[in-house]
Structure 1
Amino acid sequence: MGDRANYVLVRDGDWHLYYSHWGATGLDVHLLDGPGGAGRFITAQREVGRDDWLDDVWCAGAALVDLDAHELLFFTGHCQDYVHRRALLTVLGRTWPGWRIRWAYDGLEDLAAYVGVDADLVRSSLAKAEPGPPRTSGLPAADPWDDSALAVTVADGGGVRAYAICIEELRDLLGRGPAVAGQVPHDGLTDRWYTVPAGGLHVDTVHRRVCAWTLLHLPGAAGASGLRRWPGWEWTFWADRYGEHERAAAGALGFDRPDLGPGAALLAERLERHGERDPVADFTRLTERLAVVEERGEMRVSEWTRAHTPTPPLPEERARLREALADLAAD
């Protein structure tokens, strides 16, 4: 059990690596109060050796805070939707004034590269392995209301068609190679998404061009290193710029822009739920109850489950955050 996170703190020309067994769940919240609060939180976690990184399987979120260059680089798999992510980035722009704030689209690889660590150190054995035969099964259709699904467009000389696909991982689509253009479901055809989905893929079979964007992260593929199924194809990564997908679809696909106002309430609720919560204590109580139910004197658990330390914000930091949330709600 766990929701593991890595943190990197750069200060005075040097860097240190930290680990939390439970930190990924509330990673967005732990950054909200600004660089001071984030720095205190990171240094309260368990410091580990420079080679003791998580990998792209076990890491559910990570953040790098460079106190020298005023740069924040992070990702989390716990953004609920477009509104959550956009609200988070908007508020961080207020509570980290003067800082460059970037989303780590390559996941841990971006953080490792920032401090000069070889990407292989954070790649799982699965990521390093030679790919097996690509999947050939058809893809399930999704509802265009579903913001967790993916949008796929295919341009094949007969126009552009758009599909709502029920699949969580963009890299799973990319792993099918060019054949994915023929695997999209007819009942997934749509020309309008009623929200902004988690990501999208555009396949142009005429010009042998494949493009993608995501609101999450795409280990390896943001730098094209993950496109082993597409030899000879031009690769374009649009980051989170879903408008590029609309333009490439040439009118065959459109996304409705959701109201960001509810994002303030969402962040406030997450702040209340995760801000100073102690997941170690919660887990200890759970194991104690399980020991009673199973009639054991105690349950042995990994000492790593204790690797998380909550930290309180300073009053002035929290006041600035509350003001930023109020401004977002009023927009």
Structure 2
Amino acid sequence: MGQRVNLALVRGGGYRLYYHHWCAETLTRDLFWGEEYALRFIEAQRGVEPEEWMNEDWAEGGAVVDLDRKTLLLYGGGDILLDIPLRQMYMRLLGASWPGWEVKWAGEGIVGLADYVGYAGHRLLGSFLHDPDIPLLTPAEKKEWILTVASVRFPDGELLLYPQSTFYEYTLEYGERSAAYFDRSLGVKELYTQDWPEPVPSGGLHLDIAERLLYFWHADCVSGMAAKLAPYWPGWTIVDLGEEYGLHAGLAEGRLTFGEPDPEKKLARLREMLLYEWNSPVEGVLRFAESQAEAGKSVAVNAAALSDDRTEPDRETKKEILERAIRGAGLG
């Protein structure tokens, strides 16, 4: 178990790499408070060798703080990882709390972070989970279950839309045969998402079967997805749109309209996220290990799981920094 991250600190043309076992979920809070607190947090973690990057299968978050170029790249945080509008608002706030810095979302995850500091990111590409026997094209029975929006142009020119309760990658991983599983009787001619609990789902895709075109967008951080998919979509042109979900509306010729999330609700959610008091999981790990030992079982705990060093401002300072960022970002 863990929420593993790599943290790279660039200084004087080189970088120092660090590891933290528990902060992928909280990284967007840990690094929010500005350069001073971020440096303190990173340098409190366990230093590792420059080549000891985790690969995509293990890394759940990460960051580069480049002191030479005044650039911050990061990804992680359970609250914003699959919510693009929330993340976009967060990045506005982050930029305001790091004045004079360029802040960027690392959309290619750990691979992109490694590439940035000059390590060969392709070495970190993870395994590709492809199950050719299970097409998971599940219609969403309730609006709150919608995770993906698909648009399909059939060979006769008809265009239909499909809100689905499965993640976008389940369709992509099944390959070109997935096109045959879109039942016309389940498709709709138009979709407007304003009344959905989340007007922007976590991913989407557009198929043009006759032209053999596949476009997809996604909230999560992946690298080289189009290349990974190519063997399963032979002869298709595959385009990764990143998080640019608005381009999907154009591909669907205006029949798909994404609603606007409520900015006040998003800001309230970010306030709650950023001021949340973290409870370290280390004590729970120790209690579990103790209970297993008492039951007569042999237990070995990874030493990394017993370290959760945090260096952060007190709650009142956090509130001051956050309110200043909200004003600086023009959100309040």
- TM-score class, shorter-chain normalisation, is 0.7 to 0.9
Which secondary structure state, in structure 2, belongs to the residue aligned with residue 25 of structure 1?
coil
Task: Summarize the Cα distance change of 1:111–1:299 in structure 2 as closer, same or farther, 3 Å threshold.
Answer: same
What's 2:267 paired with?
A: 264
Q: Matched residue of 1:313: which SS?
A: coil
Q: Is the 8 A contact 1:53 1:121 kept in 2?
A: no
SS in 1 for 2:204: strand
Shift of 1:135: 3.8
- The counterpart of 1:219, out of the listed 206, 220, 223, is 223
How far apart in 2 are the matches of 1:284 and 1:328? Answer: 42
1:284 to 271, 283, 286: 286
Partner of 1:320: 321
Contact kept? 1:262, 1:329, Cα under 8 Å: no
Q: CA 1:318/1:286 → structure 2, altered by over 3 Å: closer, same or farther? A: farther
- Which secondary structure state, in structure 2, belongs to the residue aligned with residue 227 of structure 1? helix
Inter-partner Cα distance in structure 1 for 2:282 and 2:330 = 33
Q: Which residue of 1 aligns with 2:88?
A: 86
Name the counterpart of 1:273: 276
Q: How many Å apart are 1:35 and its aligned residue? A: 2.5
Aligned residue type for 2:64: L
Change beyond 3 A, Cα 1:109–1:297? closer
Gaps of 5+ in 1: none
Offset at 1:325?
A: 3.9
Q: Does the residue aligned with 2:31 lie in a helix, a strand or coil? A: helix
Deviations 1:224-257 (A, max 9, x none): 4543322332232222111100111012212111
- Report deviation, 1:278: 3.5
Question: Counterpart of 2:73 in 1: which secondary structure?
Answer: strand
Whole-angstrom CA distance in 2 between matches of 1:86 and 1:120: 27
Deviation larger for 108-117 or 134-143: 134-143
Who is 2:160 aligned against?
161
| 2:239 counterpart of 1:236 | yes
Q: Aligned partners of 2:60 and 2:277: how far apart in 1?
A: 16
TM-score, normalised to structure 1's length?
Answer: 0.85
Provide the secondary structure at the position in 1 that maps to 2:249.
helix
CA RMSD of aligned residues (A): 2.9
Partner of 1:58: 58
Q: Which residue of 1 aligns with 2:98?
A: 96
210 and 27 in structure 1: CA distance in 2 versus 1, 3 angstrom threshold: same
Structure 1 residues 132-182: Cα deviation after superposition (integer angstroms, max 9, x where no partner): 6734535111256337611111122423211112223x3332222222222
Q: Distance between the aligned counterparts of 1:220 and 1:177, measured in 2?
A: 16
Matched residue SS, 2:55: coil
| Candidates 193, 198, 204, aligned match of 2:202 | 198
| TM-score when normalising by structure 2 | 0.85
Give the letter for the 2:166 counterpart: I
* Structure 2, unaligned runs of 5 or more: none
Aligned-pair identity in percent equals 31
Listed one character per residue, the Cα deviations across residues 5-27 of structure 1 (whole Å, up to 9, x for unaligned) are: 11111111111111111110101
- 2:147 corresponds to which letter in structure 1? A
Identify if the C-alpha distance between structure 1 residues 70 and 123 changes in structure 2 by more than 3 Å, giving closer, same or farther: same
Partner of 1:179: 177
Q: Which letter does structure 1 place at the counterpart of 2:179? A: A
User: How many residues are aligned here?
Assistant: 322
Q: How does 1:127-138 map to 2 (within 5 A)?
A: 127=128, 134-135=132-133, 137=135
Is the partner of 2:149 in helix, strand or coil? strand
AA at the equivalent of 2:93:
V
